[in-house]
Structure 1
Amino acid sequence: MVFILGIERSATTWVSNILDMHSGTELYMEPLSERTSRFKQWPNRFTKIEDLPGRAQYFQEEFTYLRERNKFFFSRLSDADLAWQLDFLIAEKLWRALPLARDFFELNFNRKGTREYPSKRISTVDIIKEVRLNFNTSILKYIHPNIKVVVVLRNYAANVQSVARQISKGNLSELAELLQNHFHDINEQTIFDYWANSYNHLLKDLDEEKISYFVLRQKDLIQSGEETIDDLLSFLELSPEPSVYNYISRSNVSGAGKHNTKRSHNKILEQNSQAQNKLYPKIAEQIDTTDWHPVLHKEIIKL
């Protein structure tokens, strides 16, 4: 079992799409989301979980239920793109009325409107993309004995600005409510605190629990895509497949939207630089006074 972890707008969906292009994976998008029909007793991301074995068992039970809803109607019969898109049309219409439709839609929201996914093998590796476990990463070793984690890092300034922009548009409502309750304000400084605390907790817990993890930087995917994917697939013990590499080049086009992973790579790098020049003066003191995990310290200095 593999977890893709990060925060909102950190490129976790792009990485998830890339791995979903492998025939040996089965992807589940954010099962802990309040939009799915399960995990209603799961604490919010800032609440420390005390009974790790008990909560891990609860996760296994709820996820076992949800994984049976990862396909809907036509997608149970075929991996063809047409089957998936027909299911999305039906599920979107029934989203409010039918939990089965809602779960299918939410667990696969990355696939909506996307084409050319490969047929999946009978035996696959479960890939779970989640943004709500950064403060409770220790639970992962209780969820699965051979857990692996991919930590996705985006340029901190671009990540912070993207979260702020989405919240201002009325998106990320669950996160916005939690940030307001936790920090008592939502601005670039508090969102940066959220970014820093999330990744510091995540990486420190992974080290302490000796959980195997791979740090994947969005910038590396853009600048040395094939080499980075080689390293990622090797870490996950997955064989190279052309569909995975082809997806990266196909995503290098202009695009927009909350979940759209089509972006001009050159534009992303330009936006990173612009965001950093604009944000750094506002959070320089926060950077200097934060006790950084070595990976993040290197990242901040390098950026």
Structure 2
Amino acid sequence: MHAMAQAATEAAQTAPATIGDSEFDRDTAVTLREEGVYDAELSAGWTIIHAVNGGYLLALLGRALGEALPHADPFSVSAHYLTASVPGPAVIRTQVVRAGRTLSTGQASLFQYAEDGSEIERIRVLATYGDLDALPDDVRTTALPPAMPDRDHCLGPSDGAPKIPGSSAITDRLDIKLDPATVGWAVGAPSGKGEMRGWFGLADGRDPDALSLLLTVDALPPTSFELGLTGWTPTVELTTHIRCRPAPGPLRVSITTRNLAGGFLEEDAEVWDSADRLVAQSRQLAKAPRAA
């Protein structure tokens, strides 16, 4: 009986996490303090070069808005990153701007605390929510999934691909396999094309959903690496469109930068699911790392 119990425990430990019961869900949990106000704990597990990842923050605020608004699914989320967030307690204040029959719009801000106890606003979001399951099936598109090798022919940490310079705890929570054509930066030979492509999943096997897509659009290494620049690339503004609920299985992410000027660059991201559907798009403005 002991052996059977041990086998059952080991099977449970290796079974993929499920939506609602994963590290991502626990670390984006919010607790209602009073109407429109939620307490949260920013986990150190989602940091990149000592700052909390912007996509993780977007998902955290997205969860709070999903609870505050009458509609649960994010359609369009625009975030302005005001100051760098750090692991620790935070408070999210939400406001319903408009509640319609098919769409609701709200805003939210995340605050952390200074040494004197005063609040510091880290990020402010304006978002529109709806019901992804109520969308029509009609699709007319010229968009195509990114052209890149099968997952088995892409590179991840287990294949010897180096970690992002600096503190990168977030990489332990992600299952990313990068297109070899976009990892020249790792061997000192960046392509100069401003492209990053890869397969994406959560390390514990949790399938994607609308909320986790807010993380996905900002989870790959920055395109600035392939432009020959390394270091922190802080997001100034990030707008994400969720187009449909993703199918189970790994996602494919393609990110491109066409213009770095004045110390800033844009990143345009597309996320495709296992059913070859474009499930999310985003554009962000980021501050470019300084050239060495």
Q: Could you say whether these structures have the same fold, taking a TM-score greater than 0.5 normalized by the shorter chain as the test?
A: no
Q: Which has the higher helix share?
A: 1
Bigger relative contact order, structure 1 or 2, given CA contacts below 8 A and separation 6+? 1
Q: TM-score range by the shorter chain?
A: under 0.3
Query: Which is richer in strand?
Result: 2
TM-score (norm 1): 0.24
